Amino acid sequence: MISRRGALIAGGTGAALVAGGAGVAYKVATGDKPEPVSPPSVDGRGKVLWRNWSGVQHAYPAARLAPKDEAELATALKTAQAPIRPVGAGHSFTALAPTDGTLLSLDAMSGVAGWEGDEAVVRTGTRLGALGPLLAQKGRALPNLPDINKQSLGGALGTATHGTGTKIRALHGDVTALRLVTPSGKVIDADETKNAEVFQAARVSLGALGVITQVRIKTSANRRLRRRVWLESFEEALAKAEGRWATHRNFELYAVPFTGLAVNISHDETDDPAQPRGPEQDTQFLEALRGLRNLLGFATPLRKAAAHALLASTPPETAVDEGWKLLSTERPVRFNEMEFHLPVEHQLAALAEVVRTIEKERPDVFFPIEVRRIAPDDAWLSPFQGGPRGSVAVHAYYRDDFSFLYQLVEPIFRRYDGRPHWGKLHSLNGGQLEAIYPRWKDFLAVRRDLDPEGRMLNPYLKGLFGLT
Ligand SMILES: Cc1cc2nc3c(=O)[nH]c(=O)nc-3n(C[C@H](O)[C@H](O)[C@H](O)COP(=O)(O)OP(=O)(O)OC[C@H]3O[C@@H](n4cnc5c(N)ncnc54)[C@H](O)[C@@H]3O)c2cc1C
């Protein structure tokens, strides 16, 4: 009898035995996999290993630089060994940062440089988590935050990082001016009227045009928000999602495959007194789901029934605090991820199809699927350009095979006209991107102009831009 989450977690190897020993038809083993093998910490040239957060990308850069100011940065960009790749917190899943040339960190160029009215001028090496308290000193906040706040501002802007909220843009959508140092060491200040083409190209630019040292970004009043987290059936969550996006400041849902359940999360402004969030519960929830997968992955109906018995009565969680303390959470359990941004009218149909497909084909998957809304903006490489988008993000535990993301999930997203998150796994090439980004060629022209020798391009970016 399953009575406690602990029992499930302890029951780790069950399904592997059943699947193997009893000859059950699933091709995919659902027990725990071993730790992925780590690459050597030093390569043959004595260069030290760099890895991204999930461990799926790595490199042995010949040089690592952390310039202290724009003059040092300009010299580095002109003289350092190419490919030169800016890196923030290394939280992207795609091969944007890896280089055997120079890895350039902006960590030493951080903090708030000044204010222009309610717009803050922020150095891009600033981590989002550090920016919260700096803006709060002035009674201001970023209008929104992503799931976590470990990213650097430069890295977050570079891949069009977003949170959720029908009326709230991705972070780059609130940038009103930026300063770019190009690979030739030239400093360009750009906004909607001055160097406007550079502005539109650089707001989301994958670190391919040079290094953005600072941006001017809109802020909003640092209001308290009420956070609510609650479980319900997946059908009910699907039926009510549009209404919730229309009424809540921030709303997202997580479809939990193989459970028939969804987790809803809303945030709304309030003047109620602070009631800080309790300890992080992500790990315990995921451990329960992993235990269910390990124990009952061989039989979906049994797994669903057990999930209901175990999870459906989980009490709602509520908290009240300033937005910068609530909107991001900890994500201690590592994963690999694919996220596409879909026209909103297709979002829930695509989600339902992804859940059905995973439940049919991949009993090893247990991570919840994240579903968000983002308001439009007009940056040339913004996935949200041309209209609002609804994102669907599928995660795979870091020890698990994630080939299903490409084989099963990406074709669904593409059929529904999705655009990939630049920092998350996808297989689109230059031709395919050109078809879904009306200003793709304009971006490539600005890139050619600013970096004719391709000093910023690693093999991944060359492939993406069709330059190989
Ligand atoms: C646990 C986790 C949770 C996440 N949650 C979300 C989420 O809720 N929403 C979302 O949209 N994404 C999310 N992401 C993705 C993440 O926000 C992006 O991949 C983001 O780019 C990572 O920021 P970073 O500082 O690690 O940048 P990196 O991954 O280090 O770099 C990203 C890109 O930015 C470029 N870059 C960095 N600094 C500069 C600069 N100063 N000038 C020019 N280019 C620069 C780099 O060259 C690279 O191309 C998540 C990722 C993880 C691992």
CA distance linking residue 42 with residue 40, whole number of Å: 5
State which ligand 1 atom lies nearest to the alpha carbon of 161: 11
Q: Report the amino acid identity of residue 337.
A: E
Rounded to whole angstroms, what are the CA distances from 399 to 57, 386, 402? 14, 37, 9
Angle between helices 344-361 and 234-247 (to 10 degrees): 160
Question: Structure tokens of 307?
Answer: 């999930």
Dihedral, CA atoms, 49, 107, 454, 174, nearest 10 degrees? 130
Q: How many helices (H) and strands (E) does the chain have?
A: 16, 21
Q: What is the chain's pLDDT, residue by residue, as a tens digit (468 residues)?
A: 233 333 333 343 333 333 333 334 456 888 999 999 999 999 999 999 999 999 999 999 999 999 999 999 999 999 999 999 999 999 999 999 999 999 999 999 999 999 999 999 999 999 999 999 999 999 999 999 999 999 999 999 999 999 999 999 999 999 999 999 999 999 999 999 999 999 999 999 999 999 999 999 999 999 999 999 999 999 999 999 999 999 999 999 999 999 999 999 999 999 999 999 998 888 999 999 999 999 999 999 999 999 999 998 889 999 999 999 999 999 999 999 999 999 999 999 999 999 999 999 999 999 999 999 999 999 999 999 999 999 999 999 999 999 999 999 999 999 999 999 999 999 999 999 999 999 999 999 999 999 999 999 999 999 999 897
Q: Best mutation site among 69, 91, 164 for ligand 1, i.e. most ligand atoms within 8 A of its Cβ?
A: 91
Ligand 1, atom 41: nearest CA belongs to which residue? 154
pLDDT digits (tens, 9 = 90+) for 389-447: 999 999 999 999 999 999 999 999 999 999 999 999 999 999 999 999 999 999 999 99
φ/ψ (deg, to 5) at 173: -65, -15
Domains 105-221+430-464 and 224-420 share a fold: no
Ligand 1 pocket (Cβ < 6 Å) reads 53, 85-92, 96-97, 106, 124, 146-148, 151-152, 154-156, 158-159, 161-162, 206-207, 211-212, 331, 421, 423
CATH of 224-420, one of 2.115.10.20, 2.70.210.12, 1.20.1260.10, 3.40.462.10: 3.40.462.10
Q: Best mutation site among 159, 254, 267, 326 for ligand 1, i.e. most ligand atoms within 8 A of its Cβ?
A: 159
State which ligand 1 atom lies nearest to the alpha carbon of 160: 11
Q: Best mutation site among 99, 142, 161, 382 for ligand 1, i.e. most ligand atoms within 8 A of its Cβ?
A: 161
Domain locations along the chain: 105-221+430-464, 224-420
156 CA distance to ligand 1 middle (Å): 4
pLDDT digits (tens, 9 = 90+) for 150-169: 999 999 999 999 999 999 99
State which ligand 1 atom lies nearest to the alpha carbon of 211: 42
Q: Which residues contact 80 (CB under 8 A, 6 or more apart)?
A: 63, 65, 101, 102, 104
The domain 105-221+430-464: what is its CATH number?
3.30.465.10
State which ligand 1 atom lies nearest to the alpha carbon of 207: 44
pLDDT digits (tens, 9 = 90+) for 99-113: 999 999 999 999 999
